[in-house]
Chains A and B, each alone.
Chain A
Amino acid sequence: MPLDPSYEGRVYPPYPPYLVGREKLREFATAIGATDPIHHDVAAAQARGYADVVAPPTFPIVLSDAASKVIINDPGLGMDYSRVVHGDQRFAYDRPVVAGDVLICQHTIESITTRGGHDFITTRADLTTPDGERIVRTWTKLVQRGEG
């Protein structure tokens, strides 16, 4: 079944607040081999003007991916995740994510198109502080391959 195109423009309720942990950032940086001290050493991060260790650029996917379940599991949209592959990914930063940040992640479906029997869905996640300061936006394009 194809995706329901009337879901284009839908804004979902925000995911519960996500507290960015210092050890989670260190673990993520270690997993990708990012050795810069501002990912690991609080003093080095503070010397560069940050309150705590700084996230590598793709770290927000940890939150936006978890929060995207609201879309993937939306029964009305009709996504069959077993046929889905990750097409494109983008991050646009207002400032880096730092340990201690509390992030609110809210998803919007920006577009749904069909081409050659495949469905393409682009979602945007806005990551803000509880006060509404915008930190980073992420766009994910998923491709749902046609059945059969």
Chain B
Amino acid sequence: MQVGEQLPARSYRVTRLDLIRYAGASCDFNPIHWNERFAEKVGLPGVIAHGMFTMALAGRAVCEWAGAADAVVDFTVRFTRPVVVPDDDSGTEVVFAAAVKQIGEDGLAHLELSATCNGEKVLAQARAVVRTNG
């Protein structure tokens, strides 16, 4: 990683099955993440992904960029817009990108992250600090 470098975008597909699997793995069974009737009743456009699932995918991208699955030291996001997941086989797609803002003498790289779905930002003020020295 170099300061100023744009890291290659990572794109992950998200289907209803992914949300159900994440609900089980995270023990977050809020019906807005799997029940269309409920989601629409509370005013959502449809079933939406768990914010924490989107953040987990961002974390996966960060680990892939860092080249180590244990590299993350600090990680923060703001949820700005829901990721709507249609009831079909292809679902939707979330695209993550990052820029390297700073690398400290301690070997910690500061990344500024972006996440978009259908061209709209779903995360803001998303940053990660990762170890780059193995």
Interface residue ranges, A against B (CB under 8 Å): 24, 27-28, 30-34, 36, 38-39, 48, 50, 54, 56-58, 61-62, 65-66, 82, 85-93, 96, 139
Q: Is B26 touching A36 in the complex (CB atoms < 8 A)? A: no
| Interface flag for B24 (CB, 8 Å) | yes
Does B77 contact A56, Cβ atoms closer than 8 Å? no
Contact B57 A32 (CB under 8 A): yes
Across-interface contacts of A65 in B (CB, < 8 A): 26-28, 52
Size class of the B contact interface (CB-based, 8 Å): 20 to 34
CB A146 to nearest CB in B, in angstroms, measures 14
Among candidates A56, A61, A86, residue contacting B69 with C-beta atoms closer than 8 Å:
A56
Say yes or no: A56-B63 contact (C-beta < 8 A), given A38-B70, A87-B79, A90-B76: yes
**A-B contacts besides A31-B25, A91-B74, 17 pairs, CB < 8 Å:** A31-B24, A32-B22, A32-B25, A32-B60, A36-B63, A54-B69, A57-B63, A58-B52, A62-B27, A65-B28, A65-B52, A88-B79, A89-B79, A90-B75, A90-B76, A91-B72, A139-B76
**Residues of A with C-beta under 8 A to B86:** none
Contact with A38, one of B69, B77, B78, B79 (Cβ below 8 angstroms): B69
Taken together as a complex, chains A and B put the C-alpha atoms of A139 and B57 apart, in Å, by 18
* Shortest Cβ gap from A33 to chain B (Å): 6
B70 touches A48 (CB 8 A): yes
Q: Given A32-B60, A54-B69, A91-B74, check contact A86 B25 (CB 8 Å).
A: no
In the bound complex, what is the Cα–Cα distance between A130 and B26 (angstroms)?
Answer: 23
CB pair A57–B62 under 8 Å, yes or no, is: yes
* From A33, A48, A54, contact of B57 by CB (8 A): A33
Instruction: Give Cα distance in the complex from A15 to B25, angstroms.
Output: 20
- At the interface, yes or no: B21 with Cβ under 8 Å from chain A? yes
In the assembly, what is the distance between CA of A43 and CA of B50, in Å?
A: 32
1/0 per residue, CB under 8 A from A, across B46-90: the answer is 000001110111011011000001101111111100000000000
- List B contacts of A86 (CB < 8 A): 51-52, 79
B5, CB-defined interface residue at 8 Å: no
Question: Least Cβ distance of B67 to chain A in Å?
Answer: 10
How far apart are B40's CB and chain A's nearest CB, in angstroms?
15
Whether A36 lies near B69 (C-beta < 8 A) is: yes
The residue in chain A whose Cβ has the minimal distance to the Cβ of B62 is A57
| Shortest Cβ gap from A20 to chain B (Å) | 13
Name the CB-closest residue of A to B22. A31
Q: Are A30 and B25 also in contact (CB < 8 A) when A54-B69, A89-B76, A91-B75 are? A: yes
CB distance from A37 to the nearest CB of B (A): 8
Whether A28 pairs with B25 at a CB distance below 8 angstroms is yes
Residues of chain B with a CB closer than 8 A to A88's CB: 76-79, 125
